[in-house]
Amino acid sequence: MHPLLVHFPIGLLGIALLFELIDWKHKSTVLRDGTRIITWISAGSAVVAVVFGLLLASSEDSSGTNLEIHRWAGIATMVLSLATAFTLRSGNRGLFRGLLLTTVFGVSFAGHYGAMLTHGEDYLTSVLPGNETVEPEGDTEADFVLTNNGALTPEQIQNVNVEVRTILAHNCYSCHSETKMKGDLRLDSKDVIMKGGEHGVVVVPNHPDKSELIRRISLPKGHKEAMPTKGKRLTEKEIKLLEFWIEKGAPWPDGKEKSIYRVAELAPRTPAVPAATAELSKPVDLFVNAYFQKNNIAWKPVVDDRTYIRRVSLDIVGLLPAPEKVDAFVADTRPDKRELLAKELLAQNDAYAQHWMTFWNDALRNDYDGTGYITGGRFSISKWLYASLLDNKPYNWFVKELISPDKESEGFIKGIKWRGTINSSQRTEMQAAQNVAQVFLGLNLKCASCHDSFISDWKLADAYAFANIFADTLLEINRCDKPTGKIAGTRVLYPELGEIEVNASTEKRLRQLADFLVQPKDGRLYRTLVNRVWAQMMGRGIVEPVDAMDNLPWSQDLLDWMASDFVTNGYDVKKLIYTIVTSKTYQLPSSSVKEAGDIAAADYKFTGMVRRRLTAEQFADAISTSFIPMYGDTSIAAKKLPEDIKQRLPFPRAAFVKNDPFLTSLGRPNRETVSTGRTSQANLLQALELTNGSKFTETLKAGSKVWKSQYPTSDSLVTALYRKALGRAPVPKELAAAKKILGPQPSEEGIQDLVWAIALVPEFQLIY
């Protein structure tokens, strides 16, 4: 009855305000009588609400910031409602309306904090679209054990323990673990949980009603003793699970505990290829078909020839296809012309290497200049990397030469020394360990380089043992930059791959590590590479993010088969790319995502390529081939590459150009950290650079002079521009609009405006 007798009458003030607004426009005596009655009823109800609210708070021994705000907001609203009611007697309608509006705001404010006390701070946002909690289908392991009234089996104990530790890890470890112990309380192992904190035990086995842990997590948010103090509160289901666990005696499994985090299999696996169908025969498509059938997704018709040649050209060599090439491909009637095109593009070794330099420069932190080169603290691997891509070096040798390097390839694991050792977790040896783990194993060691990770099972000792492989002398473990006096030894992250000799030289340890990592039994190395290339071609990895290979793939079978096939085919990256681009899956129409975060959503459903923007380098090269070369002798191609390589460059490719504000604005990352993915979302900086940037503007100006000298009439100029930029002739509407911009006699300014407009249309900027 509380809402009906207390909240509803106060809420009628909103109706009174509505009546008053209508009366303000249309003057109604009847409405004024209604307003007067409602105002007095609401004022009296406000007094009753405050009295009962104070009694309720006292009887429940409640406290907290939210309660105090609700209390005083309620009292203020009561005073305002009484003042509003008495103002009716004065006849001052303007004052009454002002007070009524303020009182309605007070009711809303007080009611909001009251709702937070009873329903939680997310009572509004939790029901908004996109914030729904998706429950797994069927009974989970936790649901099953909660119905168990007898003794738990060892397997059930293991399952409950995983659920309990997951809850504690996600909600409590940030304040109550080995790294940080608020109240002298730790909750990250059985012994310390049972020990309790400075205020005594928090878990009383078999008695959840006497356990301080349960009392604290059950308090309303805003209470000064409620836990956790930050972030979301535990759900009712999580609280019940913790109660169940304590009721059963807070059991802990004997022997090795299961991880609370998903850990992907290390060993390779070759799943059986599903049976071919009348329409499908390629293994990639058959695995995707099985996924589509499971998720009730229908195959769509493949893209047309113009879309395919543009897509595959940009993905393999990074360049727009010449308009003559597009026309010839469209006219080609051979049934296998797409396979032949893929082979032709992959055979363009120079263009292929120039394009894929961008991918590996990002991942391997390779750059052409910068502070590190002034001090000699950074080492370029450009010559080695270009030669490796040009020769299509087998990936196992590619990895070996980076981890056990010579002078030309040592820049990757040497890290960036010019900043010095800022802290222990960023010293050069630790950076080498982090980079190798991230790039080749899809593993984040950054958290574990400072303290035991909160997001995985990796420990600080694991990170230091791996970093010691790269160190000339064994490193002392520092926890949160404080020395511990302990030495971790040397160890591969996955000991089943092999054992590193502690007393061996650094050179020998690196050679051992390289040999261990590239073994065929290291399935993780090859899954990680396959996933990265798939993400590069398709816009989204089979596992996402690509640096978190322990995450669940949308198709485990497809990932495993492709990694196994990659090894079988001699670690040939070009063959891997060919397998992808000749599949029907690659040729499906592209789709888009509303937000960048949707790419990594847990409920992501694969339907085909994710539409993406041209990279900074692709866009710059597209401008060069469509309008005018953007860069002169400022490029690395013009200065630092050997003469035989320079001669093979038709124009200075943007991948070889030192970074500048233009490329930065379009998403080219700096080289201080590994970058294994770029956002495909447009941003304000890009918009500003493309509309007002000096480099882009000057480039278009230079191009307009060339176009004006070659095409004196508007019709021929517009057609040529469209064919160069978009691979097609303009449609009548586009031709008319372009001619309107240019006028009968094209001027340099008009040409510049038209080129700018074409360069900014989605058809030019996106890979469909």
Return the domain boundaries, the chain. 2-127, 144-247, 266-301+523-613, 421-517, 616-626+660-767
Residue range 697-755, pLDDT digits in tens: 888 888 888 888 888 888 889 999 999 999 999 999 999 999 889 887 888 899 999 99
Split at pLDDT 50, 70, 90, the class of 633 is: very low
At residue 101 the predicted structure's pLDDT band, cuts being 50, 70 and 90, is confident
For the ranges 326-330, 484-488, 549-553, the lowest mean pLDDT is seen at 484-488
pLDDT (mean) for 169-188:
80
Chain segment 267-294, per-residue pLDDT in tens:
999 999 999 999 999 999 999 999 999 9
Residue 499 is predicted with a pLDDT of 96
User: CA 243 from chain center: how many Å?
Assistant: 35
CA dihedral 523, 529, 532, 535 (to 10 degrees): -70
Output DSSP code: residue 254: S
Helices (H), ranges, 120-248: 141-146, 154-171, 190-195, 212-218, 236-247
Structure tokens at 135: 């429950």
Residue 139's pLDDT is 42
CA 679 to chain centre: 9
pLDDT class of 637 with cuts at 50, 70, 90: very low
Average pLDDT, the chain: 86
Query: Are 708 and 718 contacting, i.e. CB atoms less than 8 angstroms apart?
Result: no
- Length of the chain counted residue by residue: 768
Enter the pTM of the model: 0.74
If you average pLDDT over residues 170-198, what whole number do you get? 83
The pLDDT tens digits of the residues spanning 567-625 come to 999 999 999 999 999 999 999 999 988 776 777 887 899 999 999 999 999 999 999 88
Q: How far apart are CA 388 and CA 353, in angstroms?
A: 8
233 compared with 518, residue with greater pLDDT:
518
751 within 8 A of 708, measured Cβ to Cβ: yes
Query: Which helix (H) or strand (E) element contains residue 485?
Result: strand 482-487
pLDDT for 174 equals 74
Terminal C-alpha separation, the chain: 59
| 575 exposure class (CB count in 10 Å sphere: 0-12, 13-18, 19+) | middle
pLDDT reading at 689 higher than 90? no
Report the run of H or E that residue 479 belongs to, with start and end.
strand 476-479
User: What is 258-307 written as a DSSP string?
Assistant: PPSS-----S---PPPPPP-SS--SHHHHHHHHHHHHTT----PPPPHHH
Q: Rounded to 5, what percent of the chain is helix, strand, coil?
A: 55, 5, 40
